[in-house]
Amino acid sequence: MASQNYFSQLPTWAKGVVAVVGLVAVGGIVFGVWRAVKKTIETSKEGKDNKEFQQATDQQLQQLQNQGVVPTLSDSDAISLSNQIETGLGGCELSGTELNIVNAILAKINNQADWLKLQSTFGIREIDNCGYGTGDTKQDLKGVLTSDLDGWDWSFTTYANVLKKGLQQKNIIW
């Protein structure tokens, strides 16, 4: 009763302020719940996309293994190389970093099964773009390598093309 009496004794402008603050608070709560639900839906869709991508890649890998082409890349090396690629190409990478990543991939990938295993292990990841306000991009391994290995080597070709040529020399299809 005291609080009801206190509110009724407030000037009209103060009652308006209390009403506006209450509406803003309720609106903020509703907005927070809406964002949480939206993020949950997006995360579940991303997980589904990643799962579908990995299933398709794993199916191709299984077909190769049935033909006798087995990966030489260990699970730990695939994970380590995937993380190295993500870390090295996230943000504003330098040309030297790009070359190191190309060399690391070419040193570890020996056949088509290794390439598919690396793609499956990498999956679809969120990569930090270079520049303020550019956001993040969700890409598979080929997308990340194509878009981020954009530095030029001494022969004026991009590092993505250097990688593609190196894989071709090992009879690996991009």
Q: Within its chain, how far is the Cα of 95 from the centroid?
A: 21
Of the listed ranges 18-27, 70-79, 124-133, the least confidently predicted one is: 124-133
Contact 168, 158 (CB under 8 A): no
The CA-based angle 121-50-41, given to 5 degrees, is 145
Burial class (CB in 10 A: 0-12, 13-18, 19+), 4: exposed
The predicted-structure confidence for 50-96, as pLDDT tens digits, reads as follows 678 778 888 988 998 899 999 999 999 999 999 999 988 887 777 77
Which pTM was predicted?
Answer: 0.67
Q: Where are the beta strands (DSSP E) in 18-104?
A: none
The per-residue pLDDT for 42 is 61
Residue 143, C-beta contacts closer than 8 angstroms, at least 6 positions apart? 137
Q: What is the mean pLDDT of residues 95-113?
A: 91
The per-residue pLDDT for 33 is 78
The per-residue pLDDT for 114 is 96
